[in-house]
Amino acid sequence: MKYPTANSHLDLARWCITNELYEEAKSELRDAIRLEPKRSEPQLMLRRLMGVSAENQPTVQEKIQETLIRKQLESSDEATSLTGISREQSALFVRKIQPIMLNKCGNANCHGNAAKSEFRLTQVTRRYGNHRIYAEKNLAEVLKWIDLEDPLRSQLLTKSEQDHPQQGIVVYTGYAGRKQQQVIQEWVAAVVADRLKQDQLRVERLTKRANRRTGQARENLLKQADGIMTTNEVQQADMEAEVEPARLKGDISLISGFEPKKLSDQEINELVKEKPADPFDPEQFNNAAVPE
């Protein structure tokens, strides 16, 4: 199935607003409007969000505190740059994957900073300008739980399907949960595909270097390239195995031939603009002077 429901987008938008991820919330609301252009709720929410501006600017003290935090994180090995995967997948992590993970896993009792679990995420807020640093930190943490040799059995995917001892529940339940699980599964596959592509580039570079060498140096480079190729073939075969996606029910997009409205962001912004007042005054009309 290609698309979630408008309700799913609204739920995620509400969570984004709660966590001050306003741009992500706008994106979710626009997707909801594309699915149900005549529905007033997402239009009203987007209209209000478009008015959010300088009122959420941090104070001087907050800026100082954020600067100190930034310096600490920049000196940390965990605050790596968004490399190793494509820009597209990095952006998808920030816009889709991270909000889901923080919503489902990032609370203090489960996998937040205060948790005792090995897998810990940092809450992100755009208000203080720390979102990129914390996003990098969270991405580095999430990537550690992806098995590049056997991506479908990555702990990032399998652990969420099991009961959590600290909560005694399965993470992804209901329609929205199954859809979120599917989004993460697809992202993991895309991340591994990115890594495979980069490994292929490494093989090409190693082969070119080997062609310029002789003797043992040449053999070592070719052996290194061959090792990368063997690993890639195993990973590619595993990724191409048939996988049953998370089952989704009750979605309007299950209707045969369903396609959302192809509205641009500009068209949606025009759609949600507050309409000018009607010059017709019904009270004046009803109170017309009675002829004497």
Q: Range with the lowest mean pLDDT among 56-70, 89-103, 169-183?
A: 56-70
| Residue 230 C-beta-side C-alpha neighbours within 13 Å | 6
- Distance from the Cα of residue 16 to its chain's centroid: 11
| Buried residues in 253-278 as b, exposed as e (16+ CB within 10 A) | eeeeeeebeebeeeebeeebeeeeee
Highest mean pLDDT among 3-7, 91-95, 170-174, 224-228: 91-95
Residue range 55-64: average pLDDT? 60
The percent of residues in the chain predicted with pLDDT above 90, rounded, is 0
Q: What are the distances in angstroms from CA 151 to CA 102, 185, 188, 189?
A: 21, 9, 7, 7
- Integer Cα distance of 235 and 134 in angstroms: 30
The residue type found at 182 is Q
In this structure, what token pair is assigned to residue 269?
């912004």
Q: What are the distances in angstroms from CA 89 to CA 92, 100, 192, 221?
A: 5, 15, 10, 30
Q: Mean pLDDT of all residues in the chain?
A: 69
Packing angle of the helix pair 22-35, 40-49 (nearest 10 deg):
150
State whether the Cα torsion 63-67-72-76 is positive or negative: positive
Q: Range with the lowest mean pLDDT among 2-16, 34-48, 69-83, 147-161?
A: 69-83
The residue type found at 170 is V
- Integer Cα distance of 10 and 3 in angstroms: 13
Q: Locate tokens 């310096």: which residue? A: 71
Q: Locate tokens 């706008």: which residue? A: 26
In this structure, what token pair is assigned to residue 277?
């007042």
CB contact at 8 A, 29 and 49: yes
Predicted local confidence at residue 252, as pLDDT: 46
| Buried residues in 139-164 as b, exposed as e (16+ CB within 10 A) | bbbbbeebbbeebeebebbeebeeee
Domain limits, the chain: 6-50, 60-236
pTM score, two decimals?
0.46
Q: Which residues contact 66 (CB under 8 A, 6 or more apart)?
A: 58, 128, 129, 130
The residue type found at 167 is Q
